[in-house]
Amino acid sequence: MSTNTFSILIIFQILSIFILPPISAVGSPINIWPKPRSFTWTTPHAIPLSPSFTITSPSHPYLTPAVNRYLRQIQTAQYKPSIIPTINLTTSLQLQTLSVTVSDITAPLSHGVNESYTLTIPSNTTSGTLTAATPWGAMRGLESFSQLVWGNPARVGAGLVVSDWPMFEHRGILLDTSRNYYGVDDLLRLIGAMSANKLNVFHWHITDSQSFPLVLKSEPELAMTGSYGPDMQYSVEDVKRVVEFGMEHGVRIIPEIDMPGHTGSWAEAYPEIVACANMFWWPAGAPWEERLAAEPGTGHLNPLIPKTYDVVKNIINEMTTLFPDSFYHGGADEVVPGCWKADPTIQKHLAGNGTLSQVLEIFINNTNPYILSLNRMAVYWEDVILDGEIKVNPSILPPSTTIMQTWNGGPDNTKRLVSAGYRTIVSSADFYYLDCGHGDFTGNNSAYDQPPGFKQTKGGSWCGPFKSWQLIYNYDITYGLNETEEKLVLGGEVALWSEQADPRVLDSRIWPRASAFAESLWSGNRDEMGMKRSVDATDRLNEWVNRMVSRGVKAEPIQPLWCVRNPGMCNTYNPIF
């Protein structure tokens, strides 16, 4: 053996003794995801959960089913952590009861509802307590309690107090069910996992140019001719089931019927009100500026045709009866000039010195007051006032009755919206689009015919590269804002657009990246010292993935199992590019 080799071995042995943790000692207390705002557990230990354990709570149409659901889960899960927590089990007493109290039992599930709770599991009594301001806060506390239970026979962390509340009131996931269809069971599984991650808004982007899967009693022809078929439709009963399931899980359902763009699927039922329908989206040889749609699937509503508003108002009215939430998403993104310019009626308007922005204003002036008249808060994509070519004068969408959702421009567009006084939902494509990084779905795309050595950059995906959980976790949605502007940021949504997603990949595309998002909006991405805590989050997220999978959610792994079983050993303290 050479002197150098011997020296290296001696150095490694010293490191293994004094720096690297021995494998047999590796273990961690059980954790809660998202990390609570305050978690006091001075001496981590556990007590057995009684075989007759029960949860008592006030009667409530949605809290009671949640209590029953969590009780069944806790009694039957027999959860096996990836690493068995190395904490003492005290067997002198068992936890017999969790007593739930709610101070405002009648509080409705709505934006801004109080979701705070305090969970106490003593080490010297047989009963724990969960106090919450509202039933919805109690549901958050029940989820936290369920994550403190593991093993067979079951045991629960004891001698602890959790005091918890969210940083942001709006924490959501957008799912596009038009480009590819998702069955109701897929939607329910998504909502259930959202609740487990303390997310509280399911933004249901129901229709688009590709299909109109929602069966409406007032406009049945839209789904009959615009859906992919009778087995790929959502009935009124399906919607009620989704909404009710959301209520039982503390998740609001906000519907979006996108318009006036993205409406090609309406054309078979109403060809007279849809411009540029069924045309090739980007004519051969034409510059990008002359495209007819943002992607394959053309069709915009024609705001100059009176019948347009008969159909639109029927839809909006019925949507407000199906979806009780006070937010109504009016869409209004990606209005493409080429589509409206291809329509003879709009051509006449332009020939008379009219503009396309005026056409959009006509549409908004005819629909926004109707939304408001139905006691709804209107939500629009940022394009409606920020688009470079077609936009309305902000005066017709006052901040007092309008919420904006931003998806372009990262923090710059967030700044533009809040500085204009708009309450804003952040869905930056640079950080929160879960479909990005899988390439483009158009065929015959020359972007992929490149010589070796070509730098892929975005890999053919307009919003590439792939948005990793670390990128999502570390994004601060109030970056660059002053204190007044920060207060106008309601929260955010991650989005899964479905050009290249369907039920087969739903879980893995969303989880655990949406879990990272959930924690960053619930308790933040920084520790008590103000430092980013993604390193700390890695081991906790590994364990949370394991628990989600045990509950039937097919979340993808974030590390090899070796890393999971050797916490910290897969970290790096040097930059990797």
CA 445-450-456 angle, 5° bins: 90
Res. 257: pLDDT tops 60: yes
- Residue 113's contacts (CB-CB under 8 Å, 6 or more residues apart) are 107, 134, 136
Q: What is the pLDDT of residues 428-470, one digit of tens each?
A: 999 999 999 998 999 988 878 888 888 777 777 889 999 999 9
Q: Which residue has the higher pLDDT, 4 or 129?
A: 129
How far the first Cα of the chain sits from its last, in Å, is 36
What integer best gives the mean pLDDT of the chain? 93
Least confident of 421-430, 453-462, 495-504: 453-462
Distance, in Å, from the CA atom of 202 to the CA atom of 205, rounded to the nearest integer, reads 9
Res. 5: pLDDT tops 60: no
pLDDT level of residue 259 (50, 70, 90 thresholds):
very high
Distance, in Å, from the CA atom of 427 to the CA atom of 517, rounded to the nearest integer, reads 11
**With DSSP H G I counted as helix, E B as strand and the rest as coil, what are the percentages for the chain, rounded to 5?**
35, 20, 45
pLDDT level of residue 316 (50, 70, 90 thresholds):
very high
Q: What is the predicted pLDDT for the residue at 572?
A: 86
Please report which helix (H) or strand (E) contains residue 185, including its range.
helix 184-196
- How large is the average pLDDT for residues 222-230? 98
Q: What is the predicted pLDDT for the residue at 575?
A: 76
Q: Which two tokens stand for residue 487?
A: 């207060």
Q: What is the predicted pLDDT for the residue at 577?
A: 63
Q: What is the pLDDT of residues 507-529, one digit of tens each?
A: 999 999 999 999 999 999 999 89
Q: What is the predicted pLDDT for the residue at 281?
A: 97
Res. 16: pLDDT tops 70: no
Q: What is the predicted pLDDT for the residue at 149?
A: 97
Contact (Cβ atoms closer than 8 angstroms) between residue 482 and residue 436: no
Least confident of 18-32, 104-118, 205-219, 241-255: 18-32
Res. 21: pLDDT tops 70: no
Q: Which two tokens stand for residue 238?
A: 């399906």
Taking only Cα atoms into account, the Rg of the chain, rounded to an integer number of angstroms, comes to 26
Indicate the residue type of 317.
Answer: N
Q: Which residue has the higher pLDDT, 447 or 30?
A: 30
Q: Which residue has the higher pLDDT, 369 or 3?
A: 369
Distance, in Å, from the CA atom of 355 to the CA atom of 345, rounded to the nearest integer, reads 13
Res. 243: pLDDT tops 70: yes
Distance, in Å, from the CA atom of 49 to the CA atom of 54, rounded to the nearest integer, reads 10
- How large is the average pLDDT for residues 260-286? 97
pTM, whole model, 2 decimals?
Answer: 0.94
CA dihedral sign of residues 146, 152, 157, 158: positive
Distance, in Å, from the CA atom of 295 to the CA atom of 274, rounded to the nearest integer, reads 17
Q: What is the pLDDT of residues 355-385, one digit of tens each?
A: 999 999 999 999 999 999 999 999 999 999 9
Residue positions annotated with a catalytic role: 334
3-state secondary structure of 273: helix
Angstrom CA distances, 140 to 66, 117, 345, 511, 539, stand at 10, 7, 53, 19, 22
